[in-house]
Structure 1
Amino acid sequence: MHAIIVTSHPKPGSLTHAIAARMAEGIASSPGGHSHEFVDLAAEAFDPRFTQDDIALMLGQAEPTTDVAAEHARLDGADALIIIYPIYWWSMPAQLKGWIDRVFTNGWAYSDNGDGKIIKKLGHLKVHLIAIAGADMRTYARHGYFGAMRTQIDHGIFGYCGAHVLTSELMTPDHSNDFANHLDTAYRLGRKIFSA
């Protein structure tokens, strides 16, 4: 089976990239010979801006642009989508949100023909979300931030398309600040991505 691991962080040596690498190691070491592909939106300079072309696609008046079609093809070949991201202002980075805005399109991720019935088209896709926080768990719990993120992202984006969110993990700073436990968790999660 094949996993797509998406990151959106401009610094290659970031904790985000380290967690993605450990997740990939876990996938590679799991029984069954599974594969993975990295999608580093920052390194690939993915353009998150929603343009007239994207509006035309949404309205069913155009075909996907080359960059969006390439992302569709990558995801069509995936059994699992893993998104690992730092939390910016209690949500995902703008580039990652722009990737979702532009790639999870009408006609591909869902169909909305204007009759009030949404057809969810990503029921085959298993999604694993790893959000990396700068604040502690008490802050997220006290203000309800993580619950709000799960409503917005897990349900509002992936549930809308019919994709199944199997993991929704919030990694908060630990007391030692060495982040070894996060890397261990990522490895363990990677080993379990394709377990029965």
Structure 2
Amino acid sequence: MKVLWILAHPEPRSLNGALRDEGLHTLKELGHEVRESDLYAMRWNPVVDAADFGHDPARRLVVGAASERAHAQGRLSDDIAAEQDKLAWADTLVVQFPLWWFGMPAILKGWFDRVLVQGFAFGLTGERGQVRRYGDGGLAGKRALVITTAGARRSGLGPRGVHGDLEDVLFPLLHGTLWYTGVAVVPPLLIPSADRHTPAGHPAVLAELRERLRDLPTTPAIGYRHEHGGDYGTDLVLAPHLAPGRHGLDVHRTDRGGPPTSPSR
């Protein structure tokens, strides 16, 4: 595999730092190629603005159109272009962050905002003129593993946990960002009770990480439905014969709400 490891944590001596270090070591030991984006160490700018696109600040900025033009004309800022080069190189992404207020840290959200521009990761059309998204898109063919630490106990982020099921909590990232742009996502790795971890407890957590990384090439992806696989109507609503009478995020998974679909390009 060619792995891009994206880390969003401010402290390299933290549990997240230990996970990153062990993860990179394990991947290299297994013979995989690895590149890294350590966003805090890079002092990554998370804020989208006109300078990203070489846009005249005196003119009204329409982000989608400006980003698409800049990408097509090779005028994106150097930091964005460098991250896009890493993405183009990689066939696998590891996205690692602490779960803060039920989402990713702002610096990581800003990485997605600035790097996955229109014309690069989305806003593309297929051979028949259909919009390429949800299982298709500029990042189609890549896979991703999300690793997140949380202060909550594992049970609290389970199917009946007070915080909500982890895959539901991460749905905006797993489905709305990664799957939307074509990336197949494997089940996320949760490291619970992270604020109560001490270095003495790291070996068990690191062993769990190593196992997930060893299995990553063959781990089945979450069975999200393809938009153009026949499961959705022109109104983008799931067909009534699939998961009848059910609502919620699970209906968008073939492994929980009906037969699998395949992309139509």
TM-score (norm 1): 0.87
Question: Residues 59-87 of structure 1, C-alpha deviation per residue, up to 9 Å, x if partnerless?
Answer: 13323221111100011111111011111
Q: Does 89-98 or 186-195 show the bigger shift? A: 186-195
Equivalent in the alignment of 2:144? 127
Bigger relative CO (Cα 8 Å, ≥ 6 apart): 1
- The Cα of 1:184 is off from its aligned counterpart by 0.9
Task: Tell me whether 1:168 sits opposite 2:174 in the alignment.
Answer: no
Structure 1 residue 125, shift from structure 2 partner: 1.0
How much does 1:187 deviate? 1.5
Q: What is the distance in 1 between the residues matched to 2:187 and 2:26?
A: 15
User: Distance in 2 between the 1:176 and 1:85 partners?
Assistant: 16
> Structure 1 vs Structure 2: percent identity of aligned residues?
27
Partner of 1:5: 5
Q: CA RMSD in A?
A: 2.3
Q: Distance in 2 between matches of 1:179 and 1:139?
A: 21
Q: Return closer, same or farther for 1:112/1:35 CA change in 2, 3 Å cut-off.
A: closer
Pairing of 1:175-190 with structure 2 (within 5 A): 177=198, 178-190=201-213
CA distance in 2, matches of 1:20, 1:80: 15
| Residue deviations 1:134-176 (CA, integer Å, cap 9, x gap) | 1112332223152432311100111110101024111102887
Aligned residues: 193
1:191 to 209, 214, 227: 214
Give the letter aligned to residue 170 of structure 2. Answer: R
- Per-residue displacement from partner, 1:42-101 (whole Å, max 9, x unpaired)? 001110001123665621332322111110001111111101111111111100110011
What SS class does the counterpart of residue 74 from structure 1 fall into?
Answer: helix
Deviations 1:90-131 (A, max 9, x none): 111100110011111111111257x98345121121101001
Comparing 104-113 with 115-124, greater Cα deviation is found at: 115-124
* SS of equivalent residue, structure 1 residue 25: helix
In the alignment, what sits opposite 1:138? Answer: 155
Deviation at 1:179, TM superposition (A): 3.1
Q: Secondary structure at the match of 1:50?
A: coil
Question: Does the aligned pair in 2 maintain the 1:23–1:189 contact within 8 Å?
Answer: no
Query: What corresponds to 1:101 in structure 2?
Result: 113
Q: Verify the 8 A CA contact 1:29 1:191 in the aligned structure 2.
A: no
CA separation of 1:183/1:163 partners in 2, compared to 1, >3 Å: closer, same or farther?
same
Q: Is the 8 A contact 2:167 2:188 kept in 1?
A: no
Structure whose CA Rg is larger: 2
Equivalence map 1:16-35=2 (5 Å): 16-30=16-30, 33-35=31-33
- Once residues 29 and 131 of structure 2 are traced to their aligned partners in structure 1, the CA distance between those partners, rounded to angstroms, is 42
SS at match of 2:152: coil
TM-score when normalising by structure 2 = 0.66
Partner Cα separation in structure 2 for residue 71 and residue 8 of structure 1: 14
**Structure 1 portions without partners, runs of 5+:** none
CA distance in 2, matches of 1:142, 1:57: 37
Task: Determine the C-alpha separation between the residues in 2 that align with 1:78 and 1:61.
Answer: 24
Which structure has more strand as a fraction of its residues?
1
Q: Is the 8 A contact 1:24 1:187 kept in 2?
A: no
Q: Distance in 1 between matches of 2:211 and 2:26?
A: 6
1:11-90 pair list within 5 angstroms: 11-30=11-30, 33-52=31-50, 53=52, 58-59=64-65, 60-63=68-71, 64-90=76-102
